[in-house]
Amino acid sequence: MADDWQNAMDHAVALARRAGEVVREALQHDRKVMTKSCSVDLVTQTDQKVETLIIQSVKEKFPTHRFIGEESVAAGEVCVLTDSPTWIIDPIDGTTNFVHAFPFVAVSIGFSVNKQMQFGVVYSCLEDKMYTARRGNGAFCNGEPLQVSQQEDVKQSMIATEFGSSRDPEVVDKIFSSLRNILCIPVHGVRGAGTAAVNMCLVASGCVEAYYEMGIHVWDVAAGSLIVSEAGGVLMDVDGGELDLMSRRIVAANSRTVAERLVIEIDAFSPPRDDAPPLKP
């Protein structure tokens, strides 16, 4: 079975590269912007085109595999992680960046078996950085091994986070109170690339000590979670418990020490789970 997963990973890398070409080409033209859950939750035809391209190609090669894809879920597909081999796809992570030509846009492809990530591929396509990780085999960027930062003093740390796409004032208050608490530890700085997947690759690369966010989805972080852990990092829930990929909350850090220190300062909230049954009309 191990070779099957390697074949699948090689295919994921090739597809991410092809998807990146589509994204770069689309940036040369006007981008028609549509919205999903609210006026700042953006989607474009390129998000949909890239997801279709990836899913169709995987279906031809691995007909028994299952999918969780951001735009398929938006179109009504269920979002349930089973034990079956499952491709977890964010065709464009950083759609708002893409719309504004802000230069961090990623294609994220994770692959899970028995609810455990087997490989993760994040292609930061405007930087031409291909991040990859296979369970037990380390994490790489363009073939070079990745290692998280060794800095365990949070006061000497840089932290990544995002504001997300909720504009519910209660949610925004929690995001700002967490940010305030963390800034005032004090940490060296707080940054955000505008894509969860790239933020996680920055943790894996040792450029920031940690990334946390509430409100993300499984497709934002599935691939990145393996890239972080294979680079020597740790993952946990924002309450310090075990990471649950469907919970829409994550802390990814270089060390347990930094992660646990951040958790004390995070004003946690629980968005509806990715696998929650749809609300009845």
Q: Catalytic residue positions? A: 70, 90, 92-93, 95, 220
Residue nearest to Mg ion (CB): 93
Whichever of 93 and 209 has its CB closer to ligand LTE5OB6J, that residue is 93
Is 274 a residue that touches ligand LTE5OB6J (CB under 6 A)? no
Q: Which of residues 158-187 bind ligand LTE5OB6J (CB under 6 A)?
A: 162, 164-165
Residues that contact ligand LTE5OB6J, how many (by CB under 6 A): 15
Q: Which residue has the tokens 């295919």?
A: 11
Interface residue with ligand LTE5OB6J among 9, 16, 148, 216 (CB under 6 A) is: 216
Q: In the chain, what is the straight-line distance between the N-terminal and C-terminal CA atoms, in Å?
A: 43
Is 224 a residue that touches ligand LTE5OB6J (CB under 6 A)? no
Whichever of 24 and 256 has its CB closer to ligand LTE5OB6J, that residue is 24
Whichever of 46 and 178 has its CB closer to Mg ion, that residue is 46
Other beta carbons less than 10 A from residue 164's beta carbon: 18
Which 3 state secondary structure label does DSSP give 251?
Answer: strand
- Of the ranges 54-62, 80-88, 212-220, 256-264, which one interacts with ligand LTE5OB6J (CB under 6 A)? 212-220
Looking at beta carbons, which pairs linking 237-240 to residues 24 or more positions away fall under 8 Å? 238/212, 238/214, 238/263, 238/266, 238/268, 239/263, 239/268
The contacts of residue 31 (CB under 8 Å, 6+ apart) are 44, 46, 98, 99
- Measured CA to CA, the distance from residue 105 to residue 121 in angstroms comes to 14
Residues that bind Mg ion (CB under 5 A): 70, 90, 92-93, 220
